[in-house]
């Protein structure tokens, strides 16, 4: 640890001192100042004093892990993900890795690659955590959205502000958890909703669950109650009254109960949101990823009939159908809640259904379509075995899961040069977040109960217009951007509609 000095990165614009070690830190990530938003150049962030010294420590830790777990492996320096060959399937992660050449007789089965090729970002993260360096967090630039912003000559300031606020709030919750050691081993505090989507607005509640992927222990319930209390004391709004969030959730149900009578509304909600809008706050990030990969494995492996003739990138039907089902379920539940709760918060739920809830469906649809329309390089290879192909499909989907729904949608817009549609989509989404961030407008929407009253209310009228603009943008993107045979429209009609 001596090699790392507690240097802070100083913003050349505003002078704010900070360290570039957020939870999602990547050595090559573009970073922005947490205070003024200045975008650091690589020279400003990857300075010899900070990252190079950290890099040596990260390498050392990676080497230690490799030596411990793969005795005899020859460590060969920092490199990119090894190329896949028939006898050496590609590991699931991309990006910088500490590469080890294995001894004769050792092989590269996927689980070994997952476990032993240590992404340097993970090492960096543990170092930063260890040194307690992360206070004000410089925020990695959301690349696809940033690129779109430039192309559309827009600022989308509310989206940006929500992203920064989300990072700050997550860091705050992490500190609360750490100070009381509230997260036991084999569990993780998984956050959903706006805080996970980088869309935190002042009035958001915190949707969380203590995800258990290990031995069931009677203390888990008490721990979850302690977490609830700690968040309440910190003035965070509690999750909604449905009981989906704010307690303990076991991996077993998420993995095994997909479809059928046992797959309750609650279980479906948790599973789909885990895939589309979740993140871990606090320790044991691996718990979430473990569960996600198991769920993805279920989706992909149970799609057997779609890859029986050839192992080519395909639309994962099981996954897509689950996403579609969830979207329709949300819409049906919207009507049920309106009835059950006598219209309480009807207007704001309507607005959210048409905007952020719809975004979840769209992101899920993008993920499914991307397997066919924009498969990763790995997914386009020839595969010798079904296991390798499934593994590549899981990797592809898992890489997308690491992004927020907005980023997934932004990437699709970029992929299809859909600037006009993107402008409609993200400008309206920015306006949506603007309404939620404004306490007056949000309060007004929360007060509205009767549809008749809402329809003549200026705030609700504005909200409806925003939702219409958003829908117009989505229609443009999916149905007017690429109308070639087998293109985006073709795929959206075939798989999104019929």
Is the torsion defined by CA of 279, 7, 132, 36 positive or negative?
negative
Comparing CB distances to other proteins, the nearer of 131 and 171 is 131
Q: Which is nearer to other proteins, 172 or 483 (CB)?
A: 172
Residue 229 CB, nearest approach to other proteins (Å)? 11
Least Å distance, CB 120 to other proteins, is 18
CB of 176 to other proteins, least distance (A): 12
CB-count burial class (<10 Å; 0-12, 13-18, 19+) for 336: exposed
Q: Do 242 and 229 contact (CB within 8 A), yes or no? A: no
Q: Which residues bind other proteins (CB under 8 A)?
A: 1, 130-132, 179-186, 214-215, 217-220, 222-223, 226
- The least distance separating other proteins from the CB of residue 214, rounded to whole angstroms, comes to 4
Burial status of residue 37 (CB atoms within 10 A of its CB: 0-12, 13-18, 19 or more) = middle
The distance of closest approach from Cβ of residue 227 to other proteins in the complex, given in angstroms and rounded to an integer, is 9
214 vs 438 by CB, closer to other proteins: 214
In this complex, which beta carbon is closest to other proteins, that of residue 222 or of residue 465? 222
Closer CB to other proteins, 87 or 219, in the complex:
219
For tokens 């050496």, the residue is 88
Of residues 151 and 217, the one with the C-beta less far from other proteins: 217
Q: What is the DSSP annotation of 274-338? A: HHHS-EE-SS-HHHHHHHHHHHHHHHHHTTGGGSSS-------HHHHHHHHHHHHHHHHHHHHHH
| Residue ranges with strand state E in 102-229 | 139-140, 187-192, 207-212
Q: How far is the CB of 105 from other proteins (least distance, A)?
A: 22
CB nearer to other proteins: give 60 or 217: 217
H or E segment to which residue 31 belongs? strand 31-32
List the alpha helices (DSSP H) in 181-307.
193-196, 219-233, 251-256, 265-276, 285-301
- Minimum separation from the CB atom of position 215 to other proteins (A): 6
Instruction: Return the H-helix or E-strand segment holding 58.
Output: helix 53-69
CB 128, min distance to other proteins, A: 11
229 or 455: CB nearest other proteins: 229
247, 189 Cβ separation under 8 angstroms: no
Long-range CB contact pairs, 240-244, < 8 A, 24+: 240/205, 240/207, 242/266, 244/207, 244/269, 244/270
């Amino acid at each position: 640890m001596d090699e790392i000095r507690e240097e802070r990165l100083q913003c050349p614009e505003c002078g704010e001192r900070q360290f570039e070690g957020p939870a999602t830190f990547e050595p090559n990530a573009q970073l922005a100042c947490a205070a003024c938003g200045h975008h650091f150049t690589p020279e400003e962030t990857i300075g010899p004093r900070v990252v190079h010294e950290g890099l040596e420590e990260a390498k050392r830790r990676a080497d230690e892990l490799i030596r411990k777990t793969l005795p005899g492996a020859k460590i060969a320096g920092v490199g990119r993900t090894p190329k896949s060959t028939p006898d050496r399937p590609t590991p699931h992660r991309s990006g910088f890795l500490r590469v080890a050449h294995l001894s004769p007789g050792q092989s590269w089965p996927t689980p070994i690659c997952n476990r032993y090729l240590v992404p340097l970002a993970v090492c960096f993260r543990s170092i930063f955590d260890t040194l307690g360096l992360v206070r004000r967090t410089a925020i990695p630039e959301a690349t696809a959205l940033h690129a779109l912003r430039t192309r559309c000559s827009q600022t989308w300031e509310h989206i940006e502000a929500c992203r920064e606020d989300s990072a700050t709030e997550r860091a705050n919750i992490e500190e609360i958890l750490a100070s009381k050691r509230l997260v036991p081993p084999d569990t993780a505090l998984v956050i959903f909703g706006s805080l996970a989507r980088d869309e935190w607005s002042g009035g958001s509640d915190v949707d969380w669950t203590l995800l258990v992927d290990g031995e069931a222990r009677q203390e888990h319930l008490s721990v979850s109650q302690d977490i609830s209390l700690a968040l309440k004391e910190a003035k965070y709004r509690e999750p909604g009254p449905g009981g989906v969030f704010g307690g303990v959730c076991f991996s077993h149900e998420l993995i095994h109960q997909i479809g059928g009578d046992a797959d309750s509304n609650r279980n479906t909600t948790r599973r789909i949101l885990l895939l589309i809008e979740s993140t871990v706050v606090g320790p044991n990030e691996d718990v979430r990823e473990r569960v996600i990969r198991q769920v993805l494995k279920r989706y992909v492996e149970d799609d057997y009939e779609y890859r029986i003739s050839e192992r080519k990138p395909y639309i994962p039907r099981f996954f897509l159908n689950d996403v579609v089902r969830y979207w329709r379920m949300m819409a049906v539940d919207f009507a049920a809640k309106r009835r059950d709760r006598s219209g309480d918060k009807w207007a704001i739920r309507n607005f959210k259904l048409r905007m952020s809830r719809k975004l979840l469906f769209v992101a899920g649809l993008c993920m499914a379509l991307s397997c066919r329309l924009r498969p990763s390089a790995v997914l386009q290879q020839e595969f010798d075995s079904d296991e390798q192909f499934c593994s590549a499909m899981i990797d592809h989907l898992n890489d997308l899961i690491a992004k927020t729904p907005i980023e997934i949608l932004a990437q699709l817009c970029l992929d299809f040069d859909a600037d006009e549609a993107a402008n409609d989509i993200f400008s309206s989404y920015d306006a949506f977040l603007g309404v939620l961030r404004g306490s007056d407008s949000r309060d007004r929407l929360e007060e509205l109960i009767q549809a008749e009253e809402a329809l003549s209310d200026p705030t609700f009228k504005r909200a409806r217009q925003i939702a219409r603009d958003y829908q117009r943008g989505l229609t443009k993107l999916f149905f007017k951007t690429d109308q070639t045979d087998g293109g985006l429209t073709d795929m959206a009609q075939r798989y999104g509609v019929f």
